[in-house]
Each structure stands twice: as C-alpha cells, then as structure tokens.
Amino acid sequence: MARNELRPVIKLRSTAGTGYTYVTRKNRRNDPDRMTLRKYDPVAGRHVTFREER
C-alpha cells in the first residue's frame, strides 16, 4: 500500500473561528472518522478543539 493511502495528510481547523490550522498525518485504520484534538490556538490565545476538515 502506498504511503499516502494509509497515512494521509490532514488539516486540523480551529473551532474557535480564527481560521488557524495545524497539518498532520493520521492512520486511516485506527481513526477512520474525523479527528478532533484539543490544541493551542495562538490567535485565540487558549486551547480549543481542532477538527479535521476534508
């Protein structure tokens, strides 16, 4: 299986509405649904939930 098929590059967009994004990879076998992570948003100045966008 090719590298891009199993571990695609995804964008995590802030739910605070600031437009800030993180870029990461995820394993489709372990996380088939949309990913949500709590990370720091420097524009908002606090930790918020980041959701995978497709």
Give 1's pLDDT tier (boundaries 50, 70, 90). low
Q: What are 29-48's pLDDT values in tens digits? A: 998 999 999 999 999 999 99
Residue 51 CA to residue 35 CA, distance in Å, equals 6
CB 21 within 8 A of CB 14: yes
Strand partners, 39: 48
Residue 44 CA to residue 30 CA, distance in Å, equals 30
Residue 51 CA to residue 11 CA, distance in Å, equals 8
Q: What are 2-39's pLDDT values in tens digits? A: 667 889 999 999 999 999 999 999 999 998 999 999 99
| Residue 35 identity | M
Q: What is the pTM of this model?
A: 0.85
